[in-house]
Amino acid sequence: MINKTITPQELMKNLTKYFIIDVRTKEQFLTDHIEEAINIPLSEIKQNIVNIPKEKLIITYCNGGTSGGIAAKILEEENFNVYNLEGGFSNYKKMPL
């Protein structure tokens, strides 16, 4: 199945509507991240599935989109409604505030 994606512009319209997961390392997350995001590194996604709300729309992201896409695929296989952020955090950071 092909990952569903969301643009940074669409995400910015209503950050609180989504459950946003930053799948980068804890160090990268602490340096900078999307305001409403929580950090669950890709390597820890499977063991943290119980902490992710099924009733919310999930957004995953990494730096460029690859790891976020892998996380989205894992969650999709567990029947989550999940989108990956197009271009990842680097694309998000290019947006004007």
Structural domains of the chain in order of their starting residue, each with its CATH number: 5-93 (3.40.250.10)
User: Which of 30, 23, 36 is CA-nearest to residue 63?
Assistant: 23
pTM of the model: 0.94
Write down the mean pLDDT value for the chain. Answer: 94
Integer angstrom CA distances of residue 19 from 3, 9, 96: 17, 16, 22
What is the predicted pLDDT for the residue at 14?
86
What is the predicted pLDDT for the residue at 15?
86
Structure confidence at residue 2 as a pLDDT band (50, 70, 90):
low
Q: What is the mean pLDDT of residues 38-62?
A: 97
Q: Is-catalytic flag, 62?
A: yes
Which one from 45, 62, 82, 85 is the annotated catalytic residue?
62
CA 23 from centre of chain: 7
